[in-house]
Amino acid sequence: MTIVRSEPGVLYTKEPLLHDLRPEWKPLLSSVSFMEYVGIENLRIEFPESEYAGHHLEEGFNGLYLTDLSHSWVRDVSIHNSDTALLTTNSRNISIDGFITTGREGHHSVWLGDVYGVLTTNFRFEADSRHNPSFNTKSRLSVFSGGTIPRAHLDQHGGLNHQNLFDDIGGGASRSSITCGGSPYWNPGAGLYNTFWNIRLSGRLSDGYIGSCSDAAEARIVGLTAGSSELVLRYGPATYVEGLNRPGIAVRSLYRYQLARRLAAQQTAAENEGH
């Protein structure tokens, strides 16, 4: 959290708390240092032509690893023949724009773990991956928005990832298009309020079965469409579902809609202060 000011016994933060904080839990307050304003742009990384070694047998052909960063970015980067194209940890407020994966099968396309507020936009994940892409351990308030995935495996990988958003994504459908991956010891698959908004999938689903997760509480699935006449979701508990397999959602991107509202509110507040 970013502390904007303090008074005796009170701290004011820029970001909202995502869960309760009670004195009887005896929370500790500590500072964290990040590198800031680090940018990686206009880069292509190509790994050797090889077969995928297998799940958890990878040889380590990984692209970018972002760690201990704040207010930084990746722009117009492509990774070819990777095991995992991009990994993150212990970072916040990162923008990833125009990221592309190509080549052979791998483990992850983009792996968001232990991050706050990472935004991935305008992506194209052409290389097939087991988790494609993934909200991993302690990812929160992060977004994948406005991209294409030929074989989508929208993954929540345990470790209390929560309040994340898959938004305005087109891709290919399969039985694991919406899934909770990861080993059982990381369960539950997700915390509260992960959201799937305007996910447009194509391809034949013989039985309409498009994904399952039994321990991702109170997810929101709005505007999920696929080629099957009837979609089957085994998802819960307490999932909110709206517009299942009904194309033509009014708000194409929840991220862009909320951003526009926030910027308009800030502009109005600034104008009122000026008067």
| pLDDT tens, per residue, the chain with 275 residues | 788 888 988 888 888 888 888 889 998 888 889 999 999 999 999 999 999 999 999 999 999 999 999 999 999 999 999 999 999 999 999 999 999 999 999 999 999 999 999 999 999 999 999 999 999 999 999 999 999 999 999 999 999 999 999 999 999 988 888 888 888 888 999 999 999 999 999 987 777 778 788 899 999 999 999 877 788 888 889 999 999 999 999 999 999 999 999 999 999 888 888 76
User: DSSP string of 105-118?
Assistant: -EEEEEEE-SEEEE
In a domain, 127, yes or no: yes
Query: Quick one: how far is CA 226 from the chain centroid?
Result: 21
| Number of domains within the chain | 1
Residue type, 25: W
In a domain, 17, yes or no: no
In a domain, 4, yes or no: no
In a domain, 108, yes or no: yes
Q: Six-digit token pair at 114?
A: 């232990």
Where are any strands of DSSP class E within 17-175? 35-36, 39-46, 62-67, 69-80, 84-89, 91-97, 100-102, 106-112, 115-121, 124-125, 129-131, 134-135, 143-149, 154-156, 165-172
- Domain assignment of residue 198, given as a range: 34-274
In a domain, 143, yes or no: yes
Predicted confidence at residue 275, as pLDDT, reads 67
Task: Return the sign of the alpha-carbon dihedral for residues 196, 199, 201, 206.
Answer: positive
1: helix, strand or coil: coil
Q: Six-digit token pair at 195?
A: 């959201």
Least Cα distance to 95 among 114, 135, 123 occurs for 123
In a domain, 48, yes or no: yes
